[in-house]
Amino acid sequence: MRALISRPIILLGLVSLLTDLASEMLYPIAPLYLTGTLGASLIAVGWLEGVAEGLSGYFKGYFGALSDRLGTRAPFVRAGYALSALSKPLPGLWPAAAAVVLGRLADRFGKGLRSAPRDALLASYAPASAQGRVFGFHRAMDTAGAALGPLAALAFLAARPGDYQTLFLLAFFPGLLAALCVWRVQDAPCQPAPTRRLAPFAVFAYWRKSPPDYRRLVAALAIFGLVNSSDAFLILRAKQAGFSEAAAIGGYALYNGVYAVAAYPAGGLADRLGKRRVLCWGLGLYAVVYAGFALLTQAWQAWVGFAAYGLYAAATEGVSKAWIADVTPPDQRGAAIGLQTMVASFSAVIASALAGLLWETVHPVAPFWVAVGGSLLALLWLRAAPIRESEDRSAFAGKAFAEKSRSATPPDE
């Protein structure tokens, strides 16, 4: 593993773990603070989350493409993590609804600023035959932070109930440590574009010039994204089956725990057996999980569902990014990953709105059956589409690029 997971990859994983630890300490707390302490309405909270995720999705595409144009990744990654860290303590220093809104928007802007350049940087440091394992390792570290963050918040609030302001201040420290660690990661420059200008919506132009394999893959992921609604619907469905609020948080923590443990092995399977096969397994498992939640009658079934949901995420999240890295040249990966994650963010907003509408107007199980159908359609698309995999990737992997990746790793790594 040490030969494959070099020092820059380990550092980027550690940075993601610390940042997600800080973010997830606050993500479930912010709505409670807004509605309880500050008296905001649920409608306002919903609008805040929608705007925040929409902005984050757009900027993932914009800054991913801009990093390609400038031929550099690390400045975007460093600035993005620094901005997210600085946004954390704002509501603790200024106890007002405007501070929560500003902090949340700044955090999501930081995520949009760093995400696609960071993934392109990860792909640059990954050996040609180990993209799946590298992205799997990163997802494992990221998800470990996502699992630990809510648990840390619960432990703090159990000792000091209602002390939200101090919690906002405490979340600054892991975020700051992450921002300091990311400065230790060296850049992996690519060939800059002849012109360095990038209009606000020029990222959409990448679709026209992108490789056909990329377009086929992103089309399948977009179909799936349009039915892949918020995980909140799984929690609500589990509560209908008898879950308490504590059990719901426990189920979500179980999902993240399984995801973190299984992400690296799933990436290894993708490298050995093919990314198409593992991604299709993940989509099939997603269909089984959502069908199970639609038929849910007892609480123990929800526990099994959350564990299986972690396996689905491990087989899809990192594997899909690794596959995108396989089918795009190094100097296009920022735009390629950024455009795909932007599409995924916008799709998630649509999927969640549709799920809420079906839940309220048709039946609570309706969105789950729609998700089953959509995931199976995406699976069939991936099975049939002629998309090459890593064995053909040598056309994009130059000798100089590989040597740069090796030289960035200290001899003892």
pLDDT above 90: percentage of residues in the chain = 45
Architecture in CATH for domain 7-187+208-406 = Up-down Bundle (1.20)
pLDDT for the residue numbered 309: 96
Length of the chain: 413
pLDDT above 70: percentage of residues in the chain = 86
Please give the average per-residue pLDDT across 2-12, as a whole number. Answer: 84
pLDDT for the residue numbered 43: 61
Can you spell out the DSSP letters for 142-173? HHHHHHHHHHHHHHHHHHSTT-HHHHHHHTHH
Boundaries of every domain in the chain: 7-187+208-406
Asked whether residue 188 carries a pLDDT value surpassing 90, the answer given is no
Q: Residue 413's pLDDT band (boundaries 50, 70, 90)?
A: very low
Can you spell out the DSSP letters for 45-102? HHHHHHHHHHHHHHHHHHHHHHHHHHT--HHHHHHHHHHHHHHTTHHHHS-SHHHHHH
Q: Are 116 and 63 in contact (CB under 8 A)?
A: yes
Asked whether residue 395 carries a pLDDT value surpassing 70, the answer given is no
Measuring CA to CA, which residue among 258, 149, 181 is closest to residue 13?
A: 181
